[in-house]
């Protein structure tokens, strides 16, 4: 299916960009007239994916995070977040709730949040090449008072 609208941007993996990235995707998604809850879900999932790029992919460096989003005419929003960082050795393990490779106060819930708040989450990764997270969520149509969409 062909996307009816597209948006792409890239940001440096600086933590100050976490808020900017989620707000940008949320603004793009706003044209689907999502509910407050749907917007929150999208912002939270994007925040998790972008934070993973900063904390894991570019752990000891600053690199580019590529964010693409597409809207389809069935109301589906697709978000792709890609890095050219260190890659994930074992994707299945990384997606297990509470699994984390960094110390401090990371809860290990990033992927669990993405999976819970979006309809689909796919992760492709290659060690030394990078990681791509593709998520989608269908925004349910809302009806106006006169019963039309």
Catalytic residues: 48, 52, 106
3-state secondary structure 55-83: HHHCCCCCCEEEEEEEECCCCEEEEEEEE
Nearer to another protein, 72 or 100 (CB): 100
Nearer to another protein, 40 or 132 (CB): 40
Q: Is 19 in the site for another protein (CB under 8 A)?
A: yes
Give the DSSP H/E element, type plus range, for residue 116.
Answer: helix 110-117
Out of 11, 29, 32, 43, the only residue in the binding site for another protein (CB under 8 A) is 43
Per CB under 8 A, which region of 37-45, 81-89, 120-128, 137-145 contacts another protein? 37-45
Q: What is the CA radius of gyration of the chain?
A: 16
Out of 8, 27, 31, 116, the only residue in the binding site for another protein (CB under 8 A) is 116
8 A C-beta contact, residue 83 and residue 13: yes
Per CB under 8 A, which region of 63-71, 75-83, 108-116, 119-127 contacts another protein? 108-116
CA-CA distance, 14 to 134, in Å (whole number)?
A: 21
Q: Is 95 in the site for another protein (CB under 8 A)?
A: no
- Residue whose structure tokens are 């580019």: 64
Query: Which residues 50-89 are close enough to bind another protein by CB under 8 A?
Result: 51, 54-55
């Amino acid at each position: 299916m062909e996307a009816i609208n597209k948006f792409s941007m890239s940001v440096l993996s600086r933590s100050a960009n976490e808020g900017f990235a989620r707000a940008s995707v949320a603004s793009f998604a706003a044209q689907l007239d999502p509910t407050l809850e749907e917007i929150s879900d999208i912002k939270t999932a994007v925040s998790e994916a972008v934070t993973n790029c900063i904390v894991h992919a570019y752990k000891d460096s600053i690199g580019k995070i590529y964010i693409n989003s597409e809207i389809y005419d069935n109301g589906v929003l697709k978000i792709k977040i890609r890095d050219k960082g260190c890659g994930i050795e074992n994707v299945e393990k990384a997606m297990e709730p509470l699994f984390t490779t960094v110390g401090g106060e990371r809860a290990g819930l990033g992927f669990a949040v993405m999976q819970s708040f979006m309809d689909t989450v796919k992760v492709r990764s290659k060690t030394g090449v990078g990681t791509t997270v593709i998520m989608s969520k269908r925004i349910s149509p809302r009806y106006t008072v006169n019963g039309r969409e």
